[in-house]
């Protein structure tokens, strides 16, 4: 089940600030509590963790996710996917867009956004299709004291109107369709612009391109420049890591302190991923 090397610390950081690759663990196995606790600890320390050469089916994928919390059912894929607990992210040859190609934190229109997601590579292109991640603790910590004071007192408005619903064109040119039917209803929530991570206690910047549409109490022409600055600032190269997928690879990110972006550069090739989100 678990290679003794794991306990010797087979956790290799992939950059100075974010991401580590872990070897010596079989995620398809029924892992013991100590191993799950170590994976959780690695996630908290590194923000996003990666595994290679894993082999597990959808049921094993869900079992793994449940060890970290309840499965989060994505409301905007309801009815478009065979299993509501799974989002299959398919990029077919000829697609012009992919799921998640703007910098985002997942599903922040919800009052309680998911804590994380486990993404598994089923079919990968021979080149391209990498995923970028950005450390939002650093994004917050590197702001000036004045900017921290300003955003500490503000809440941002998050909506799913840019990514789903009849008014959104997010699924055009994309094999993986979100809901765009007339019965869809917008979900809106507000969150502090800097959240405190419930497990690490560190503060993280919490705004993203896909869902953050405004700032409570500010006019659009006041909030837009501030949001644009913060979103750009949060993606500075030194805050990021980039993961090159191989078949059977897994990324597990902490959605409370990490943003991510899928790069749409896989040329004429298919890319198939299976994602389970954790509430």
Active-site annotation, residues: 104, 106, 260, 275
Rounded to 5 degrees, φ, ψ at 139 are -55, -40
By 3-state DSSP, what share of the chain in percent is helix, strand and coil, each rounded to 5? 20, 25, 50
- Residue ranges binding ligand SIN (CB under 6 A): 89, 99-100, 119, 131, 260, 262, 273, 275
Rounded to 5 degrees, φ, ψ at 245 are -75, 145
For the beta carbon of residue 84, count every other beta carbon within 10 angstroms: 14
Q: What angle do CA 145, 150, 151 make, to 5 degrees?
A: 100
CB of 107 to ligand SIN, least distance (A): 10
Cβ atoms of residues 104 and 208 within 8 Å: yes
What gap in Å lies between CA 243 and CA 246, rounded to an integer?
9
CB of 204 to ligand SIN, least distance (A): 18
Both tokens assigned to 256? 């409370």
Cβ atoms of residues 208 and 231 within 8 Å: yes
Residues 6+ apart with CB under 8 A from 149: none
What gap in Å lies between CA 161 and CA 30, rounded to an integer?
39
In the complex with ligand SIN, the residue whose CB is nearer, 180 or 260, is 260
In the complex with ligand SIN, the residue whose CB is nearer, 131 or 223, is 131
CB of 85 to ligand SIN, least distance (A): 15
* Minimal CB distance residue for ligand SIN: 100
CB of 244 to ligand SIN, least distance (A): 11
CB of 263 to ligand SIN, least distance (A): 8
Cβ atoms of residues 25 and 18 within 8 Å: no
């Amino acid at each position: 089940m678990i290679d003794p090397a794991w306990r010797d610390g087979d956790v290799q950081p992939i950059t100075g600030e974010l991401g580590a690759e872990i070897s010596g663990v079989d995620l398809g196995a029924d892992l013991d509590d100590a191993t799950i606790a170590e994976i959780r600890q690695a996630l908290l320390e590194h923000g996003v963790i990666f595994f290679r050469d894993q082999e597990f089916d959808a049921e094993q994928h869900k079992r793994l996710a449940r060890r970290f919390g309840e499965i989060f059912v994505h409301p905007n894929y309801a009815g478009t996917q065979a299993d509501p607990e799974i989002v299959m992210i398919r990029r077919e040859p000829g697609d012009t867009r992919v799921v998640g190609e703007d910098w985002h934190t997942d599903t922040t229109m919800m009052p309680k956004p998911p804590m994380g997601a486990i993404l598994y590579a089923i079919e990968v292109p021979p080149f391209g299709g990498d995923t970028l991640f950005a450390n939002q603790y650093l994004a917050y910590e590197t702001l000036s004291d004045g900017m921290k004071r300003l955003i500490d007192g503000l809440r941002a408005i998050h909506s799913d109107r840019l990514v789903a619903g009849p008014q959104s064109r997010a699924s055009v040119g994309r094999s993986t369709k979100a809901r765009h039917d007339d019965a869809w209803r917008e979900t809106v929530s507000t969150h502090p612009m800097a959240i405190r991570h419930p497990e690490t206690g560190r503060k993280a910047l919490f705004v993203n391109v896909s869902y953050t549409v405004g700032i409570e109490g500010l006019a659009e022409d006041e909030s837009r420049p501030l949001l644009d600055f913060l979103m750009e600032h949060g993606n500075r190269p030194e805050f990021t890591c980039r993961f090159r997928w191989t078949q059977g690879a897994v990324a597990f990110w902490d959605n409370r302190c990490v943003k991510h972006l899928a790069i749409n550069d896989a040329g004429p090739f298919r890319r198939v991923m299976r994602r389970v989100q954790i509430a």
